Structure 1
Amino acid sequence: MNPMQNPLNTPFTPFTTAEEVAHGAHLSGKTVIVTGGASGLGLETVRVLADLGAHIIVPARNTSTARASLASITNVEVAEMDLIDPASVRIFAERFVATGAPLHLLILSAGIMTPPLFRDSKGREGQFATNHLGHFRLTATLWPALKLAGGARVVVLSSRAHQLPGFDLTDLDFARRPYDKVAAYAQSKAANALFALALDIRGQNYGIRAFSVHPGSVFGNLTKHASREELEAYGILNPDGTPQIDPAQDKKNFAQGAATTVWCATAPELDGLGGVYCEDCDIAYVEAEGGFGVRPYAVNPDLAEALWTESVRLTGIDVQG
């Protein structure tokens, strides 16, 4: 386990909003890339970071829709990128690196949840390919720009779903197991936490620190593949179809859900720390069972290294020293 995986006992609560966390922070002159930044939690993250003075780039598959969503926010530009398409990710990232600009913050907020089985062009299971491998490719290709920052942070959105059974390093594509959409989502979210841990180990000497985040259970576009019955069963929707908002029970709105991401991106108390899983604007407890905290396997350095090795094999790309 990462020895840094211990709560800092911050003054924040599940009710804290991203704006409240960001109070007093300044990002003038800083460049930020936010995947998934045109909707939901990503959009709220972009709005708050832009208010701090950051210049933000939002890669998006549908650029016209993204520009419409972001039109009211200053200091934001949109670029084309499809996270599941390796060539699209490479083109976006290489174009940014070619500018010679440093990248101070990389926030990996995009994702999909519980769709029917689909695979990428190389046969990889779609949730793992999008949520993990796409972000792995993006980060590795942007590595030179992160190094140029002389102190960068990478924030990876994981989920409490990592606690559900499903992670199997020997069958990441559900080639031997029957496909289970929830298990596949859980596997991709465990991979996000393990990725942040392995990335942090590689980045420390360059001042690059990585964090994984559980934002809370938030009703938004991520739930589009879930039925009304499933959402009600998970306690996300009220019977009248409105989202349940009860931060004490992890059911948050966008402002509360984006708070931990913004905290990981800006908090001075995280200087010198990294590779940790965070929730409710603090480093999470390690919990072997129960509803809160991070499972031991999701912060296991050996498993993180094994996943990194397999990710390099699957993508053909690695970070360069």
Structure 2
Amino acid sequence: MTAVQSPLDKPFGPFTTAADVADGVDLTGKSAIVTGGASNLGFETVKILALKGAHVVVPARNASAARQVFHDMPNVEVAAMDLLDPLSITAFASGFKESGRALDLLILSAGVMATPLFRDAAGREGQFATNHLAHFRLAAALWPRLRSADGGARVVVLSSRAHQLGGLDLSDLDFRRRAYDKWLAYGQAKTANALFAVALDARGADHGIRAYSVHPGSILGPLARHLSREEIEQFGAVHPDGTAVVDPDRDLKNPQQGAATTIWCATSLALEGVGGVYCEDCDIAPVEADGELGGPGVRPFAIDRETAEALWRESARLLDIHQPGYC
């Protein structure tokens, strides 16, 4: 079966937690890598995977601080990696490959949101470079380990309903001609994340590698560090005392609820034979061509196969990656 962007109507929903989804799951003997795993959603994802028996590797820019986070958590190791440093990504991937382990789960959770304009060393717009291009490079470097996974591997990419802000402009990915807008740039990066899963799944399915993109929900945490208090209040995401609003019916979740769809995509038997789909609330999301901005569902342009292939080719060109079977 290939990608079928249609809900399965599973017995979960916006209130479901990662622990709920993982009930009965046994990941003993499995290996996982979780980017962004040292905080918030990523931390909850790592915790559940490790609790269920997986050996989890967390790449972190500040490896020392990340080791403090996981100092008493079994089945977790930390390694240094900076998503904006290509040599760092290569070194991390080489270290993992030298371990001899296959890679069963690759969770691409790290990212930035609505930042002021910044660029990587190659001059690429920073949100696109961090959220998409760096993960494209990492997945390429780990491709042989994904292919060697006994019983198949899964790749889960954190996207967002922010993709609904307007897709991506392949002719101006770096905002050279367009005026920079932090939300359009974020929406473009999140669209790229969803399209990445579509194209990666197309390449991996014959090798047992399936890919999924995820909207986790709106969770107040470090991702919002570039937003003002006024902006956060406009989203209705914070109480007057500064604590986060948790109201899953409005897509406002806590980290345990936010990690649920990632864990579902990583482990659910309901997704056997299915990939390249965008998921939310522990189910495959419906396609909504003209839905309310920020409402449920995925826009058609974020799962379009031709656009996904065009983005894949451009990403490979920008990063000068020519790996057989991947590019």
Structure 2-normalised TM-score? 0.96
- The whole-number CA distance in structure 1 between the counterparts of 2:98 and 2:47 is 26
Select between 3-12 and 246-255 the one with higher mean Cα deviation: 3-12
1:194 is paired with a residue of what secondary structure? helix
Tell me which residue corresponds to 1:241.
242
Structure 2 Cα separation of the partners of residues 154 and 49 of structure 1: 14
Amino acid at match of 1:241: G
Alignment-derived partner of residue 284 in structure 2: 283
Deviations 1:287-306 (A, max 9, x none): 01221100000000000000
SS at match of 1:255: helix
Tell me how far apart the structure 1 counterparts of residues 3 and 212 of structure 2 sit (CA, whole Å). 14
Q: 2:313 aligns with which of 309, 314, 317?
A: 309
Write the distance in 2 (CA, Å) between the matches of 1:183 and 1:236. Answer: 20
**Partners of 1:243 and 1:16 in 2: how far apart?**
18
Cα pair 1:140 1:318 within 8 Å, conserved: no
In terms of mean alpha carbon deviation, does 234-243 or 123-132 score higher? Answer: 234-243
**In 2: Cα distance, 1:199 partner to 1:320 partner:** 13
The alignment partner of 1:13 has SS state of coil
Distance (whole Å) between structure 1 residues aligned to residue 270 and residue 71 of structure 2: 33
| Alignment gaps of 5+ in structure 1 | none
Task: Tell me the alpha carbon deviations over residues 156-185 of structure 1, each in whole angstroms, 9 at most, x when there is no partner.
Answer: 000010001252111100000111111111
Q: Distance in 2 between matches of 1:147 and 1:275?
A: 17
TM-score normalised per structure 1: 0.98
**Residue number in structure 1 paired with 2:69:** 69
Shift, 1:24, TM fit? 0.6
**Partner letter of residue 306 of structure 2?**
D
Give the match for residue 297 of structure 2.
293
d(CA) in 1 for partners of 2:185 and 2:72? 36
Task: Tell me which stretches of 4 or more aligned residues in structure 1 moved more than 3 Å.
Answer: none
Shift in alpha-carbon separation, 1:231–1:318, aligned structure 2, 3 A: farther
SS of 2:265's equivalent in the other structure is helix
Give the conservation status (yes or no) of the 8 Å contact 2:35–2:60: yes
Any idea what SS the aligned residue of 2:132 has? helix
Which residue matches 2:222?
Answer: 221
Instruction: Give CA deviations for 1:127-147 in whole Å, capped at 9, x if unaligned.
Output: 000000000000011000000
Structure 1 counterpart of 2:270: 269
Change (3 A) 1:29 1:287: same
Matched, 1:120 2:115: no
Q: Distance in 2 between matches of 1:146 and 1:319?
A: 14
Give me the whole-angstrom Cα distance separating, in 2, the residues matched to 1:161 and 1:4: 22
Partner deviation per Cα, 1:41-82 (whole Å, 9 max, x = no partner): 000000011010000000000011101111231110000000
- State the match for 1:25 in structure 2: 25
Kindly provide the amino acid, as one letter, of the partner of residue 263 in structure 2. V
Query: Is 1:97 the counterpart of 2:101 in the alignment?
Result: no
Q: Report deviation, 1:242.
A: 1.3
Q: 1:74 to 1:133 in 2, by over 3 A?
A: same
Counterpart of 1:252 in 2: which secondary structure? Answer: coil
The answer for the alignment partner of 2:165 in structure 1 is 164
Per-residue deviation, 1:246 = 0.3
What does residue 53 of structure 2 align with?
A: 53
CA RMSD in angstroms, aligned pairs only: 1.0
SS at match of 1:218: coil
Q: Partners in 1 of 2:36 and 2:308 — Cα distance?
A: 24
1:115 CA displacement? 1.3
The residue number in structure 2 matching 1:204 is 205
Q: Give the counterpart letter for 1:158 in structure 2.
A: S
Residue-pair matches, total: 320
Give the Cα separation in 2 of the matches to 1:306 and 1:98: 33
Give unmatched runs, 5+ long, in structure 2. none
Residue by residue over 1:228-250, the C-alpha shift from the partner in whole angstroms, topping out at 9 and shown as x without a partner, is 00001112112321111100110
Task: Letter of the 1:102 partner, please give it.
Answer: A
Q: Which amino acid aligns with 2:297?
A: G
Contact 2:156 2:262 in 1 (8 A): yes
Q: Secondary structure at the match of 1:94?
A: helix
Contact 1:166–1:184 (CA under 8 A) maintained in structure 2: no
Contact 1:287/1:296 (8 A) holds in 2? yes
